[in-house]
Chain A
Amino acid sequence: GAVVSQHPSWVICKSGTSVKIECRSLDFQATTMFWYRQFPKQSLMLMATSNEGSKATYEQGVEKDKFLINHASLTLSTLTVTSAHPEDSSFYICSAVSGLSSSFLPYEQYFGPGTRLTVT
Chain B
Amino acid sequence: AQKVTQAQTEISVVEKEDVTLDCVYETRDTTYYLFWYKQPPSGELVFLIRRNSFDEQNEISGRYSWNFQKSTSSFNFTITASQVVDSAVYFCALSEAEGAGTYKYIFGTGTRLKVLA
Contacts and interface: CB of A to CB of B under 8 A. Distances in A.
Interface residues of A, number: 22
Interface in A93-117: 93, 95, 97, 100, 105-109, 111, 113-114, 116
A43 B95 contact: no
Nearest to B32: A107
Contact of A106 (B43, B45, B101): B101
Interface stretch (B15-23, B66-74, B78-86, B105-113): B105-113
A42 interface: yes
B43 A91 contact: yes
A13 to B, nearest CB: 19
Contact of A46 (B42, B45, B91, B105): B105
Interface in A29-81: 32, 34, 41-44, 46, 49
B102 A113 contact: no
Contacts of B97: 107
A105 B108 CA distance: 22
Tier of interface size on chain B: 20 to 34
A113 B43 contact: yes
A42 B109 contact: yes
15 contacts: A32-B102, A41-B112, A42-B109, A44-B105, A95-B105, A97-B102, A100-B101, A106-B101, A107-B33, A108-B50, A108-B103, A111-B45, A113-B44, A114-B44, A116-B43
Interface of B: 33, 35, 37, 42-45, 47, 50, 91, 95, 97, 101-105, 107-110, 112
